[in-house]
Amino acid sequence: MSDHKTMTLTLIVWRQKNANDPGKFETYTAKDITEHHSFLEMLDCVNEDLINSGKEPIVFDHDCREGICGMCSQVINGVPHGGQERTTVCQLHMRKFKDGDTIYIEPWRAKAFPIQKDLVVDRTAYDTIIQSGGYTSCHTGGVPDANATLIPKEVLDYAMDAAECIGCGACAAACPNSSAMLFTSAKVAQLAVLPQGKPEAAARVQAMLNTMQECGFGNCSNHYECQAACPKGINVKFIAKLNREYLKALFK
């Protein structure tokens, strides 16, 4: 670290003891932060100060810290993951902020993602959606040859773009309707174009949509807020694809 210029920031953080606590904002000061700190490292520093002064540290989710697991989940200044294009909170760096900034940090807010503590929410609902159809039923047996089922390159690319979803929940968190359509559509679209996924396509789209509704997510109003917030650049074209798959399934 060549330069020793540091920043002092004011953090306004959502604190909530447990699922039943009404919760409230608390103000903290983050001191001695350099531009090389990641956002989570900045919070680690604040937490060390809190622990040293005998206070409860801020609880937040994280795991890989390299932008692939989808655990980190914070709404920073009103934008899930902080608004840097295709960047998760863990990959957001403090060079995006300047000395003296005030930063709002809030948990994902959606009825289907109940807050457990501070910035940690329960994202089981996304697993429930996947369990209802986001898979292909495979037969067991020997490993098939890699070239046994040929898939055209453009189909594969399309499926891979959809498969980039890390299930972080930013789409539902960004959506004014708390709809999980971008997440659901990415899996529906990915599997609908692949030969392994096609046989179950009609049942899958209906089951996953029903589950999405049952989990308490809202309906899609085509605001496209999700695409703008997605750290993996999942495109709303997959929602259009899901809608087509739904229409096809109706006439099956």
- The residues that touch ligand HEM, with contacts defined as CB under 6 A, are 219, 221-222
# binding residues, other proteins (CB under 8 A): 50
What are the Cα distances from residue 143, in Å, to 25, 140, 159, 195? 53, 9, 21, 17
d(C-alpha 206, C-alpha 247), whole Å = 10
Binder among 11, 119, 212, 234 for other proteins (CB under 8 A): 212
# binding residues, ligand FES (CB under 6 A): 13
Nearest-approach distance from CB 177 to ligand HEM, in angstroms:
7
72 binds ligand FES (CB under 6 A): yes
d(C-alpha 27, C-alpha 252), whole Å = 56
d(C-alpha 228, C-alpha 212), whole Å = 21
67 binds ligand FES (CB under 6 A): yes
Residue nearest to ligand HEM (CB): 221
Report the interhelical angle of 124-131 vs 201-214 (nearest 10°): 150
Of 133 and 218, nearer to other proteins (C-beta) is 218
Q: Which of residues 83-122 bind ligand FES (CB under 6 A)?
A: 88-90
Binder among 92, 110, 120, 192 for other proteins (CB under 8 A): 110
Nearest-approach distance from CB 208 to other proteins, in angstroms:
11
What residue 48 binds from other proteins, ligand HEM, ligand FES, none (CB within 5 to 8 A, per partner kind)? Answer: none
Residues 6+ apart with CB under 8 A from 196: 136, 138, 149
Of 39 and 238, nearer to ligand FES (C-beta) is 39
What residue 242 binds from ligand HEM, ligand FES, other proteins, none (CB within 5 to 8 A, per partner kind)? Answer: other proteins
Dihedral of alpha carbons 53, 56, 59, 62, sign: positive
d(C-alpha 89, C-alpha 120), whole Å = 13
227 binds other proteins (CB under 8 A): yes
Nearest-approach distance from CB 240 to ligand HEM, in angstroms:
11
CA gyration radius, the chain:
20
Q: Which of residues 9-68 bind other proteins (CB under 8 A)?
A: 12, 14, 25
207 binds other proteins (CB under 8 A): no
Q: Which residues bind ligand FES (CB under 6 A)?
A: 62-65, 67-72, 88-90
Q: Which residues bind other proteins (CB under 8 A)?
A: 12, 14, 25, 75, 77-79, 83, 104, 106, 109-112, 174-179, 206, 209-210, 212-213, 216-225, 227-229, 235-237, 239-244, 246-247, 250
